[in-house]
Chain A
Amino acid sequence: MQSTPHEDEDPTVISLRGATASLGSRPVLRGVDLTVRRGEVVALLGANGSGKSTAVRAVVGQVPLTSGELSLFGTDFKRFRQWSRIGYVPQRTTAAGGVPATVREVVTSGRLTRTRFGILRRADKAAVEHALSLVDMEGHADASVNALSGGQHQRVLIARALAAEPELLIMDEPMAGVDLGNQEVLANAVRRQVEAGTTVLLVLHELGPLEPLIDRAVVLRDGCVTHDGPPPEAVGQHALPGHDHVHPHAAHDAEPLRTGLLS
Chain B
Amino acid sequence: MGFLNDPFMVRALIAAALVGVTAPAIGTYLVQRRQAIMGDGLGHVAMTGVALGLVTNTSPVWMATLVAVVGAVAMETIRSRGRTSGDVALSLLFYGGLAGGVMIVNLGGSSTSKLLGPMFGSITAVAPEDVTAMALLAAFVLAVALGLRRQLFAVCQDEEFAKVTGLPVRLLNLLIAVTAAVTVTVAMRIVGLLLVSAMMVIPVAAAQRITRGFAATLGLAIGISLTVSLVGTTATYYLNAPSGAAIVLLAIAVFMALTAVSAPLARRRAAASRAAEEVCTRDDVTV
Interface assignment of A30: CB less than 8 Å from any CB of chain B: no
Interface assignment of A106: CB less than 8 Å from any CB of chain B: yes
Give the nearest-CB partner of B30 in chain A: A98
CA distance A112 to B165 in the complex (A): 8
The A-B contact count (CB < 8 A) is: 98
CA distance A93 to B157 in the complex (A): 11
How many residues does chain A have at the interface if contact means C-beta atoms less than 8 Å apart? 36
Q: Per-residue CB proximity of B171-214 to A under 8 Å, as 1/0?
A: 00000000000000000000000000000000010001001111
A98/B282 in contact, CB under 8 A: no
CA distance A101 to B164 in the complex (A): 20
Give the nearest-CB partner of B214 in chain A: A101
Q: Per-residue CB proximity of B204-228 to A under 8 Å, as 1/0?
A: 1000100111110100000000000
Choose the segment among A34-42, A140-148, A201-209, A238-246 that binds chain B (4+ C-beta atoms closer than 8 Å): A140-148
Known: A100-B217, A113-B165, A144-B213. 10 other contacts (CB 8 A): A62-B160, A90-B158, A97-B32, A102-B214, A109-B161, A110-B161, A113-B167, A118-B149, A142-B213, A180-B282
Contact of B212 among A62, A81, A120, A143 (CB under 8 A): A143
13 pairs, CB–CB < 8 Å, chain A vs chain B = A81-B166, A88-B161, A90-B164, A97-B34, A98-B33, A99-B32, A100-B217, A102-B212, A102-B214, A105-B213, A110-B161, A112-B150, A112-B154
Instruction: Known A112-B150, A181-B281, A181-B283; judge A61-B167 contact (CB<8 A).
Output: no
A105/B33 in contact, CB under 8 A: no
Q: Which of A117-155 contact B (CB under 8 A)?
A: 118, 120, 142-144, 147
User: Which residues of chain B have a CB within 8 Å of any CB of chain A?
Assistant: 28, 31-34, 36, 148-151, 153-154, 156-158, 160-167, 204, 208, 211-215, 217, 269, 273, 281-283
Give the interface SS of chain B, mostly helix, strand, loop or mixed: helix
Contact of A102 among B28, B32, B204, B213 (CB under 8 A): B213
Interface assignment of A214: CB less than 8 Å from any CB of chain B: no
CA distance A105 to B163 in the complex (A): 17
Instruction: Known A88-B161, A112-B150; judge A98-B36 contact (CB<8 A).
Output: yes
CA distance A122 to B58 in the complex (A): 50
Give the nearest-CB partner of A99 in chain B: B32
Give the nearest-CB partner of B155 in chain A: A109
A100/B150 in contact, CB under 8 A: no
